[in-house]
Structure 1
Amino acid sequence: MFKSSALALPAAAVAAMWTGHAAAADKPVYAAPVAWVDVAPIPAVQAGPETPATQVLLDDSQTRLERSGGTFYSRRVVRIVKTEGLSGSGSRSVSWNPTAETVTLHTLAIRRGDQVIDLLQGGKDVLVIRRETNLERAMLDGRLTASIQIKDLQVGDVVDWAYTVHRTEPLLDNRGQTFERMGWAGKIGRYRVRIEWPQDNPVIWKASTGFPQPAVAKVDGFTRLNVDLTDAEAPKAPAGAPLRFLRVGELQASTYADWAEISRRMYPLYDKAAQLAPDSPVRAEIARIAAQTKDPKERAFAALQLVEDKTRYLALSMGDGGYRPAPADETWARRFGDCKGKTVLLLALLRGLGVGAEPAIVSTSGGDGMDERVAAAGQFNHIIVRARIDGKSYWLDGTRAGDKGGLDRLRPPGFRWALPVRAKGASLEPVEQPPLTEAQNDNRLHIDASAGLDKPAQVRVDILMRGDMARGFSRSLETAPKADVERGLKQTLSKSMSWITLETVEWKQAESGDLSITMTGTGAPEWRLNDDLGVRELKLDEGEGSGAAFPRRQPGPNDTAPFALRYPIFTRSSIEVVLPGKGEGFSVKGVNGEDAATGYRVAKSAKVVDGVARFETETRGEARELPFAQVDAANAAIRKAAYDVRIVRAPKGL
């Protein structure tokens, strides 16, 4: 996985995802800020009846993007207002990549009235640790953290914390970016953002909705963006909106000219790493797959399965491993690799098999609205392969595991945008993800009550999973003891249907990857008398509903943005009740019809056919978003659905 080195405080830069070479810096330097930094005075305390537990007096970020790298100065001054503010204010820390960054600590002090208590003391109480925060996810990044515990902190103290991070990216020509987000509660006494760059190092910048328009000036051969506010409040993101509308109060700046430059600079790294040695063992794997089939889709899928199943995932992002892929031969020899290593191994296999393929950089979580942002390497954190066969794109991710059923069973990922890595560069391309055509979760509850209303009923639960749901669940089935899986499935079902006693649990996975689970047992359905109608009823639930309502938004930036929907989804559930006496005189109560007012297409049916009462619900997500103008109608439909019930009614006298 590509390695993000975003700094943790609000004004810090989002550095590139790939780390380059620099002088090792395994300890902070202790010094004053460089000359170009304008050290601000601390604003006076502004008391107020709604003051939170801590009050930010100063948030100051100053960035210089030069040919020699980026320098990021950050200072935050916070006053402890209440006892509740002590627990979250007892330490300060900064992390960095020692092969690409240096850290200079300027100030950590308590200001108590006229007294200034120096907590840095030249590093006396600074603890530097290597903390692998993603070790459980098989990710090693080698980052260091300098941490200082604040002693004798008291209510009324003002904590002054300032440091600078300098970053170089020589193999990317020291291209970089910075990022600012207004994300705090209450008001800040003074909020300042300053970004500057020399005239010969052009920067592209963009402010999102809710961020103050920066003043632009030319100062001593530099272009400078400046925002300086007093009593500043952060804009609030609109509840429930898609990601691109949640990015309010943001400022981006990048020294990359465009997306094509990123693509072009990455190409030599991946092209070289995917080249195999003349005696490479990977060539034997290519020959083996080629001998099995001439179909390019079958070849591509066999190559993908080889990378998925024969190399485990392990991200080594130390040194230049954060951006440079390990050679394909090396990944194969050690049988592990990160997304970059697995990508070049898959590329080598596909090229040897005559399948056209290229790397493609993506964001696993920030893809929505990528095309609206400035071009920056730090927007990405993952890389996959796009294979082209018969004019169709297939997106292949070697970090997955357990894919079955062939290339056409793979669905495009939900990353939204991808940047192909090409020698001449490329622009962002959309990753089209069509609606689902098959239910990914198909559940059926079969109740055989034919022996009579007061007799035990035979019960069978059938669950069919497809796609990623089946892939993920089957992996857990393979790794857990069978007894534990059975216990877990029984307990899960008992939470919603405690009247059922399950006796058997079986499962199997088809060659297509579909997973079926069957559970059988007995139960005592509760047929209760409806005094108003004088008949006995079996109420199967209290109403399925259609999910939580869409929240009402307060006025603010993007407050009329659409609402995000779950996409893609396609689920089906059904309940069958085999009735006594072939169902003579039985009836059902339930919804029959289709409605898309909630943003999802929901089809329901309730009927008695051939002595069986059957209820079915299908829910499909056909769009990613619900327009704001439709939210009131959607909420009304959700409230109405909450009263839907599924009832089987027996004839009188039974």
Structure 2
Amino acid sequence: MAVLAGETPLYESAPAWVERVDLSELERDPANTILVADTQIRIEKGRRWHYVDEVVRIASAQQLTSSGTVNAVWYPDKGDLIVHDVAIVRGGEVIDVIAQGETFEVLRRERRLEEAVVDGSLTATLFVPGLQICDELRVSYSTTLSDQALGDEVQSQSHLWRKPERTADFARVLVSWPENLDVSYKAWPQADLAPVETRKGYDWLNVELPLAEAIEMPSDAPSRFKQSTLLQVGTFAGWNEVASAMAPHYSVEGALDGLDDLVARVDAIRSENSTKLERAVAALELVQSDVRYLLNGLNGGNYIPQDVATTWDRKYGDCKAKTLILLALLNHLGVEAEPVLVDIDTGDGVQTSLPMPGAFDHVLVRATIDGQLYYLDGTSIGANIELVGNVPDFQFALPIRTAGADLEPIVQVLPRAPELKMFITMDSSAGADLPALTKFEMKMFGPSAAQLNAVADQLTDDVKRQIARNASEEIDIINVEFIKGETLGEATLKYDGISEAVFDFSTGRGELGGESAFGSIGFSPNRSRRDWREVPVAITGPSATEFSSHVILPADSAQYELVGEAQLEGEAAGRRVIRNASLDDDVFAVSETSIVRGGEIAADQVLTERRKVMRLARNELKLLAPKDTPRLWRFAQAKDRSELAKLDAAYDQLVAFDPEKAAPYLTRSWFRYDTYDFAGALADMNKVIEISGTAEYYSQRALMHKQLLDYEAAEADFEEAYALDPAPDRAMELASLLLDMQDPVAARDAIAYEDGDEGVRRSLAYWLAHVDGQEGKSEVGLDRFDLLLLDDPNNASLLNNKCWFMGVWQVQLDQAAQVCTRAVEVNGTSAAQDSRAMVYYRLGRFEDALSDLDEVLDVSPGFTTSLLLRGFVKLELGDKEGKVEIEEALARSPSLAANFRKWGFDL
């Protein structure tokens, strides 16, 4: 039959070579609604015939809707849609829908216009009349395809579905071709094919579906191991033939003839730039900026680019058109360049594919300048001289050459330039444990910069601040500035803010650092399953980033201790990290560059690379603060807050920027609270509640009232918090306050009817025990702990709380020391030693109490309860310093006085 390509569906019988499925011979499974899913492909010289036969059982109203509309897609400039059969099978009767005069209607062409894609296909649709639930619908049709770009060559790719993806009574893909035609075939991943049979001069490849369920692959496997299984059939002898077949379509001879305005633009590029690289980047920027993206697949355009004149006239084009015009510009500039095919979606899969154009989904330009390769993508944005030497992440490329070419890996040869540079300055001069005034600068290059530049003028202040928050979530942003670069491919984000304290005092001595690019490499692939032993590990990339930080220290840098290697370079798991650090002029400076090469790591190298990562991760760099570093509690008794002036001003700016929002007031409130300005904290929290009165905010304000010793106001806030959120935690907050107010009856009433999960019940038991203690029934309270310990005798928290209870309420003190020592052994925390110190104090073992408290405060000098108790211990030992410590502790937390009074301390 002659191929008569057209836009109107043809209605003919199936060709003689089709092996039609006989429905009467089907072994039917009542669970299946797909009875037949038959695909047959005939490969001939220059043509592919694709036959589809589908039979479905209409089992529901939903399926009646979905299956009752039949769609068929074809490319009218490359072949025909030939309808063979549309029939309804009902109770043994066959109703021929086509014979009744029904025909397909061509409704639309652009199926993906929203993606800037006009692919040249047509969709024919038939709404099947008279279809009912329990009917069987059979539809069979063929599409033919002779691709103008491929000449006599043919390619075919079919998805092979698996269990449990789909099930059917009969399903297959059957491919045939003349036995004298040189055809290659392959199915991957995870597919074994039956031998080809030769019958009547044709080879037949039969794939029965569904395939067995796929072996699950690890998440970090290269994409070629995880993609859906494909059956590929083609007539290309190798990659050389694919490359040469595409070459005629990318000739630039005479491409600029008659385009005087474009030639003038190119000549201006030549005169304005002195080097070939600068000219190439300028030409790339012209194509990216002046030609918008639109894939036009009409008139053979799926593989054939539209000519340069059309692209320049219409100012749009797809990757092929943009590549062709860029090649023409570079040729005019005397820059050596060629088109290369790549695959965006599964770049690593090209190496597994049969040689065929369908292995690729993108084309770009590769220029050779001063002996180096540069990949220039006209469909991208943000052409930039800094980044032009960075290779893309497609992994493999096929050069398009008349003489042919083989598949080549894409390798980063030049040093990779950072796509992102970040610099942060943190002013900690006010104190090592105080928030730091922060200046942040982030320079972006390439597409990310271009995207930001494109909308920068339309960004509101709120949007700018949100972008800044996304860049640094732990910084409170004060102001933000966007600065456009000299080119579209450069942009800078700057902002000022307030960050958390940069030094960590959790171990007792202030530490800065520890986390670095060396420790964040992370490489722990799981290849423990036998099926995974040969699976490589994919490395996300390539990419490069540069991060620099300056910390202004609160004291002479000579007093600090630098631990670790200041200058270090290492590579593991596909990432190279370079560090340079210095400590000078009261500034701790660190610069780290991280370069990821991308690609993959072979399975037999995984263990080696993991060991490298572990070695590199040990290269922590820490800055240790002096042991006598002034801490923030120095402000508890100080009337002079001048050292905090810069921070106060910064928080004021934060509030002034968003005066109608609760968040900045809340942030400033807690800064004031942490620096012992309880009145200022309360004023801010009043404003927070005025704007947004939540249960959490009322609870937080109650704490501030407590520190100001306004217990009635604290009680009112806790009650309001409970009214808004009647949860057990809220009730226990109120009970705690009522105990401080010497009202155990009200405290018991507050929690008497609360309940919850095991953790809540345990906490309720703790508080009820303390109510018992305050009511003079400490033995009853102690029984509550013993009852809990019956179920969990080694629970660290239970042991610690029992020890504390025995000490504060002076119950069974003869056994308390033993309980407390067990708590310390199991718990191993400062809290347990603090509890034991209380028992030692009650027992008159003041030296033992002092020893425990010294250890606690050496590691955690912010434990105010321990400081207060140590004051009493020292007084018992005749040390007048105890009075000073009691005064200091009460200055830090005035509400502690009520706590200790209820336990019998004289305050």
TM bracket, shorter-chain basis: 0.7 to 0.9
Residue of structure 2 aligned with 1:44, choices 23, 27, 36: 27
Cα displacement (A) at 1:494: 3.1
Query: Per the alignment, do residues 612 and 390 of structure 1 end up closer, same or farther by CA in structure 2, a change over 3 Å counting?
Result: closer
**Could you tell me which residue of structure 2 aligns to residue 103 of structure 1?**
81
The Cα offsets for residues 309-330 of structure 1, whole Å up to 9 and x where unpaired, read as 3333332221223333333233
Instruction: Return the alpha-carbon distance in structure 2 between the equivalents of residues 548 and 331 of structure 1.
Output: 46
Name the CA distance, whole Å, in 1 between partners of 2:494 and 2:482. Answer: 5
Cα distance in structure 2, aligned partners of 1:459 and 1:123:
76
Displacement after TM superposition at 1:471 (Å)? 1.7
Give the 3-state SS of the residue equivalent to 1:324 in structure 2. coil
How many pairs align? 620
Aligned to 1:139: 117
Match for 2:491 among 515, 526, 529? 515
Of 526, 544, 552, which aligns to 1:578?
Answer: 552
In structure 2, C-alpha distance between the alignment counterparts of 1:634 and 1:121, rounded to whole Å: 68
User: Is 1:471 the equivalent of 2:446?
Assistant: yes
Q: What SS does structure 2 have at the residue aligned with 1:101?
A: coil
Q: 1:208-607 to 2 correspondence within 5 Å?
A: 208=188, 210-228=190-208, 232-236=211-215, 238-239=217-218, 240-246=220-226, 249-271=229-251, 274-277=254-257, 280-292=260-272, 295-405=275-385, 409-434=388-413, 436-452=415-431, 457-465=436-444, 470-482=445-457, 484=459, 486-494=461-469, 497-498=473-474, 500-510=476-486, 513-523=489-499, 525=501, 530=506, 533=508, 545-546=520-521, 550=525, 556=531, 560-582=534-556, 599-601=574-576
Taking a change above 3 Å as real, the CA distance of residues 295 and 109 of structure 1, as seen in their structure-2 partners, is same
Moved more, 327-336 or 81-90: 81-90
What is the one-letter code of the residue matched to 1:385?
V
- Where do residues 109-188 of structure 1 align in structure 2 (5 Å cutoff)? 124=102, 128-130=106-108, 132-147=110-125, 160-170=138-148, 172-186=150-164
**Are the counterparts in 2 of residues 23 and 99 from structure 1 also a CA contact under 8 Å?**
no
98-107 vs 274-283, which moves further: 274-283
Change (3 A) 1:236 1:98: farther
Indicate conservation of the 8 Å contact 2:380/2:447, yes or no: no
Q: Distance in 2 between matches of 1:157 and 1:103?
A: 26
Does the C-alpha gap of structure 1 residues 588 and 78 become closer, same or farther in structure 2, counting only changes over 3 Å?
farther
For 1:402-434, what per-residue CA distance to the aligned partner results, in whole angstroms no more than 9, with x for missing partners? Answer: 31327x834333333333333333333443334
CA offset digits 1:286-305 (Å, max 9, x no partner)? 54445556744444344333
Q: CA deviation at 1:178?
A: 1.3
Identity of aligned residues (%): 29
Q: From the two aligned structures, give the one with the greater helix fraction.
A: 2
Contact in 2 for aligned 1:405/1:511 (Cα 8 Å): no
CA contact (8 A) 1:366 1:379 kept: no
Deviation at 1:34, TM superposition (A): 1.9
CA offsets per residue over residues 91-149 of structure 1, 9 Å max, x none?
55332222223223445667677576777786848554325343234322232223456
The one of 606, 617, 625 aligned to 2:600: 625
- What residue number does 1:16 align with? none
| Structure 1 range deviating more: 521-530 or 94-103 | 521-530
- Mapped to 2, the partners of 1:591 and 1:645 lie a distance apart of 6
> How far, CA to CA, are the matches of 1:391 and 1:576 in structure 2?
39
In 1: Cα distance, 2:12 partner to 2:574 partner: 57
Q: Does 1:69 align with 2:47?
A: yes
Closer, same or farther in 2 for the Cα pair 1:219/1:316, shift >3 Å? same
Conserved in 1, the CA contact under 8 Å of 2:581 and 2:588?
Answer: yes
Q: Determine the structure 2 residue equivalent to 1:4.
A: none
Instruction: Find the aligned partners of 1:190 and 1:45 in 2 and give their Cα distance.
Output: 9
Structure 1: which 5+ residue stretches go unaligned? 1-20
1: CA distance, partners of 2:390 / 2:189: 34
Query: Which residue type is aligned with residue 484 of structure 1?
Result: L
CA distance in 2 between partners of 1:645 and 1:353 (Å): 50
Structure 1 residue 360 displacement after superposition: 2.9
The residue type equivalent to 1:224 in the other structure is W
Conservation of the 8 A alpha-carbon contact between 2:537 and 2:601: yes
C-alpha change, 1:570 and 1:172, in structure 2 (3 Å) is: closer
Say which SS state the counterpart of residue 343 (structure 1) adopts. Answer: helix
Report how far residue 521 of structure 1 moved: 2.9
The residue type paired with residue 577 of structure 1 is V
What secondary structure sits across from 1:480 in the alignment?
A: helix
Counterpart amino acid of 1:194?
Answer: L
Q: Match for residue 800 of structure 2?
A: none
Q: 1:419 to 1:536 in 2, by over 3 A?
A: closer
Q: Is the 8 A contact 2:117 2:296 kept in 1?
A: yes
Pick closer, same or farther for the CA change 1:210–1:586 going to 2, 3 Å. same
Using the alignment, how far apart are the partners of 2:327 and 2:576 within structure 1?
Answer: 40
Equivalent-residue separation in structure 2 for 1:291 and 1:621 (angstroms): 37
Q: Give 1:519 shift.
A: 0.9
Find the residue that maps to 1:474 and give its secondary structure: helix
Matched residue, 1:18: none
Is the contact made by 1:183 and 1:234 (CA closer than 8 Å) also made in structure 2? no
Change (3 A) 1:248 1:285: closer
CA distance in structure 1 between the aligned counterparts of 2:124 and 2:614, rounded to whole angstroms: 50
| Contact 2:449 2:490 survives alignment (8 Å) | no
Superposed CA RMSD in Å reads 4.6
SS at structure 1 position matched to 2:301 = helix
Where 2:551 maps in the other structure, the secondary structure is strand
The 8 Å contact of residues 525 and 538 in structure 1, kept in 2 or not, is answered as no
Q: Indicate conservation of the 8 Å contact 2:153/2:235, yes or no.
A: yes
Counterpart of 2:595, as a letter, is R
Q: What displacement does 1:475 show?
A: 1.8
SS of residue paired to 2:21: coil
Q: CA deviation at 1:509?
A: 1.8
Q: In structure 1, what is the Cα distance between the partners aligned to 2:370 and 2:154?
A: 38
Paired residues of 1:356 and 1:387 also in contact (CA < 8 A): yes
Further displaced range: 326-335 or 274-283: 274-283
User: In 2, distance between residues paired with 1:374 and 1:453?
Assistant: 62
SS of corresponding position for 2:320? helix
Contact 2:243 2:401 (8 Å CA) reproduced: yes
Deviation at 1:72, TM superposition (A): 0.8
* Shift in CA distance, 194/22, structure 1 to aligned 2, threshold 3 Å: closer
CA 207–450 in structure 1, closer or farther in 2 if over 3 Å, else same: same
Whether the aligned pair in 1 keeps the contact of 2:34 and 2:57 (CA below 8 Å) is yes
1:28-43 correspondence to structure 2 within 5 Å: 28-41=9-22, 43=26
Distance (whole Å) between structure 2 residues aligned to residue 510 and residue 546 of structure 1:
34
Match of 1:25 in 2: 6
| Residue 650 (structure 1) shift | 7.2
Q: CA deviation at 1:564?
A: 0.5
Counterpart residue identity of residue 41, structure 2: T
Of Structure 1 and Structure 2, the greater strand share is in 1
